[in-house]
Amino acid sequence: MDATYEPIGIMACVDGVIEALLHYTVIQEAVILDRLTFYRGLINNRQVVLVRCGVGKVNAAQCAAVLIRKFGVHSVILAGMAGALFNKLKRGDMVISQDLIQHDVDATRLGLPPGVIPGLNLRAVSADESLVQLALKCSPALLGVKVYTGRILTGDQFVSGSKLDLLRTLYNGMCVDMEGAAVAHVCVLGDTPFVVIRCVAERSDGKFMHRYKTFSQIAAGNLAVLVREMLNETTNIPSA
């Protein structure tokens, strides 16, 4: 593929990922749009646009839309942290999105099942299978880290208590975040392949925040390693 005409959008919603990747980037320009700094350049001779997006669905969706419409990216990789919904997931494990649901979308009064987006009649948004498989192929670069594929649930809230059981039973999610399904939604509207990669910060019980700063550095390093390995596989990145 021609690196000039098929850029890859790399979004991160945790400090340190973009900063680590910039060490391997030949930066061509830095553009500030909508209060975000987009770095356009080359990693391993592959055109990329790197950006640290904000927290939450609106910020992430806005960022993804700019990547697609302003920079013409042909695929999107979103990296960040998540809370686990099942005991088998331990801190530091990686979850690669098979599909994503916005768990805080509730149009049941309109006769729609929980999570279905009104107007689109869409509930679970599937990630691009070739990107999922590429992430799995590159995951051995993460020494001692277990990698899973599964459903990621997204909502503008930290989840704890009885809500955890509800998400497990109602949506069969593996972990929860605050951005992934919103990015998936935008990518579907823009016919853009995507994948979301999450490093598990802790079980989603509201008790991990006091460890956040220390662990986020470890998570950011591992996420950056995996994304960089994926970019090294230049011929396997799909285009829209």
Top pLDDT among 224 and 118 is at 224
Name the residue among 68, 79, 66 with its Cα closest to residue 33: 66
Average pLDDT, the chain: 89
Residue 162's CB: how many other CB atoms inside 10 A? 8
- 186-219 residues labelled b (16+ CB within 10 A) or e (exposed): bbeebebbbbbbbbbbbbbeeebeeeeeebbeeb
pTM over 0.85: yes
- The dihedral sign for the CA sequence 73, 74, 77, 78: positive
Which range is least confidently modeled, 30-39, 49-58, 202-211?
202-211
Top pLDDT among 149 and 166 is at 149
Average pLDDT over residues 20-46: 95
Contacts of 168 (CB under 8 A, 6+ apart): 85, 86
Query: Distance (Å, rounded) from C-alpha 183 to C-alpha 137?
Result: 23
Query: Distance (Å, rounded) from C-alpha 200 to C-alpha 122?
Result: 26
Query: Distance (Å, rounded) from C-alpha 54 to C-alpha 50?
Result: 13
Top pLDDT among 177 and 122 is at 177
pLDDT of residue 203: 61
pLDDT of residue 1: 36
- The dihedral sign for the CA sequence 8, 9, 13, 19: positive
pLDDT of residue 128: 97
Q: Tell whether domain 8-236 is in CATH 1.10.357.10.
A: no
- pLDDT for residue 3 is more than 50: no
Q: 179 is written with which tokens? A: 């951005």
